[in-house]
A and B are shown apart, each in its own frame.
Chain A
Amino acid sequence: MLDAGRTETLLEVNNIEVIYNHVILVLKGVSLSVPLGGITALLGGNGAGKTTTLKAISNLLHSERGEVTKGSIVYRGERVQDLDPAALVRKGVIQVMEGRHCFGHLTIEENLLTGAFTRRDGKAAIERDLEMVYDYFPRLKERRKSQAGYTSGGEQQMCAIGRALMSRPETVLLDEPSMGLAPQLVEQIFQIVKAVNEGEGVSFLLAEQNTNVALRYAHYGYILESGRVVMDGLAADLRENPDVKEFYLGMSDDGRKSFRDVRSYRRRKRWLA
């Protein structure tokens, strides 16, 4: 396992603030760092600002009328927050968006090929990577000629991840890969993430609701609530934290709680003192 302290820092987010539509303040000073070759998880409830953080990094906020008003985002020592998304992709940072966002009218294979849009290393190399993606996701190979709009949720998620891999990224920002997927698939996708991480040396920053899985695969984690980082630490440590256990893993002192027993009133989180 990676030790965050010793490896090179790839991406650093310093105290950023994001405002939508000039009035809605969503991120209120978020800082985090992603080490080279690691899987870093960004956890937190709905509306905590995970997606916003990822989009701030990949510079996709602009088209949603959001902007980073404070702080800085540094990738390999270089300030990147004024680049356009394409330039960032060329630098090796690519995002897999929440909700998959496949190109519905393109076939699966065409979708994958668009992932290689920024690449200049020739047809053969792209062809090779296509095979690599098909190796990781055999299911995609079966459906390569189908229009993405008609494939199932899981296939679309695979397609989106595969598409990102086609850009030969160094860092992948992965937003909620597990959403809406069957348990087996979730496991499978995380396995693939792990395999890609280890096999190709790609670093991941992933936003997840499914804390359970995320903390099993990640090395380091940040917990975000209402636009602030409220806790961070090694994944293993976080798993043992009692608050995380209760609120994110659904564990009570005596094992997993039943969803039938949640009607009793809830406790307050300790960090919201």
Chain B
Amino acid sequence: MDGAMRTYRNDEKEGAVSDTGYITADGRQIGGTLMELRNITLKFGGVVAIKDISFDIREGEIRAIIGPNGAGKSSMLNIISGFYTPSEGELWYKGAKRPPMKPYEVARMGIARTFQNIALFEGMSVLDNVMTGRLTHMKAGIASQALWWGRARDEEIANRAVVEKVIDFLEIQAIRKTPVGRLPYGLKKRVELARALAAEPSMLLLDEPMAGMNVEEKEDMSRFILDVNDEFGTTIVLIEHDMGVVMDLSDRVVVMDYGKKIGDGPPDEVRNNQDVIDAYLGVAH
């Protein structure tokens, strides 16, 4: 199991920005290390949700995290986005050790995410929801906003243009002005993605973006994820239970079980890993 994986690991030189990267099966060039998690442990009171896990995420890759329910996948994502602070371990981002940060500071560093249980702003229209994704790019002062003049107005228009692009890209033009509370689940997931994309993140964390979707919708979603990765070179961390999706989309997969890492490597390798089959897949997929 280790042999193949070592090729991808980057734990030799502390804090090194990058080594050469690798080339994926379908011929894409993956860059150096963007983020590295080192010996992360997370405890809630007595419960150990994550136990000493290390892995890295490289620039431009689609990195999947899989594992049974309660394995600690979402918690891992929460650590990356600063919502949980690990009890132990370090997090390196773009070659520097990341100090403890508030979630909003993390978001401002270019890390955007979606949520397992949709976390849209139900009281707002789709457009407004997506616009919130751009809040990190808007700087106008309160006076300017109150008067709707100068910087505030210019920003509003400029950012609206960006948002419209995202809306076009995700094909949700028709529901632009609908309050999100009324949307069906699948569209909500898409709006959530739009909100994350609007931030133009360098790293995108997706927590079960395709749960509760049928195949057709999963296909759509896959297409969006691939396009984002392709067109903007966005690094993607993906948690997903649909093995078809995971195997088809991801470049490398981390497998977790009961808070421990039980596998890490390219999809083909992981799916044949006996530990993974026992703990998660049930049968080989």
Residues on A close to B: CB < 8 A? 24, 43-48, 99, 150-155, 176, 179-187, 209-212, 247-250, 256-260, 262-263, 266
Whether the pair A180, B241 counts as a contact (CB closer than 8 A) is: yes
Q: Tell me which of B31-39, B149-157, B177-185 binds A.
A: B177-185
Within 8 Å of chain A (Cβ to Cβ): is B280?
Answer: yes
Closest CB in chain B relative to A28 CB, distance in Å: 15
With contact pairs A46-B184, A46-B214, A250-B244 given, residues A185 and B68 touching in the complex (Cβ less than 8 Å):
yes
Closest CB in chain B relative to A189 CB, distance in Å: 11
CB-CB under 8 A from B79, the residues of chain A are: none
Taking each of B70, B117, B244, which has the highest tally of chain A beta carbons within 10 Å of its own beta carbon? B70
* A interface footprint on B209-239 (CB within 8 Å = 1, 0 otherwise): 0011111111110110011000000000000
Whether the pair B217, A45 counts as a contact (CB closer than 8 A) is: yes
Total number of residue pairs linking A and B with CB closer than 8 Å? 108
CB-CB under 8 A from A209, the residues of chain B are: 212-214
Known: A209-B213, A211-B214. 12 other contacts (CB 8 A): A45-B217, A46-B184, A46-B186, A154-B69, A155-B70, A183-B285, A184-B281, A248-B215, A250-B219, A256-B244, A259-B219, A266-B219
With contact pairs A47-B184, A180-B208, A182-B68 given, residues A247 and B216 touching in the complex (Cβ less than 8 Å):
yes
Top 3 closest pairs, chain A to chain B, by CB: A47-B184, A152-B70, A46-B186
Contact among A46, A154, A181, A266 for B185, CB-based, below 8 A: A46
Q: Taking CB as reference atom, which chain A residue is nearest B221?
A: A259
Closest CB in chain A relative to B181 CB, distance in Å: 11
CB-CB under 8 A from A186, the residues of chain B are: 241
Taking each of A186, A256, A259, which has the highest tally of chain B beta carbons within 10 Å of its own beta carbon? A259
Closest CB in chain B relative to A227 CB, distance in Å: 11
CB-CB under 8 A from A247, the residues of chain B are: 214-216
CB-CB under 8 A from A210, the residues of chain B are: 214
Whether the pair B248, A260 counts as a contact (CB closer than 8 A) is: yes
CB-CB under 8 A from B184, the residues of chain A are: 46-48
Contact among A47, A181, A266 for B241, CB-based, below 8 A: A181
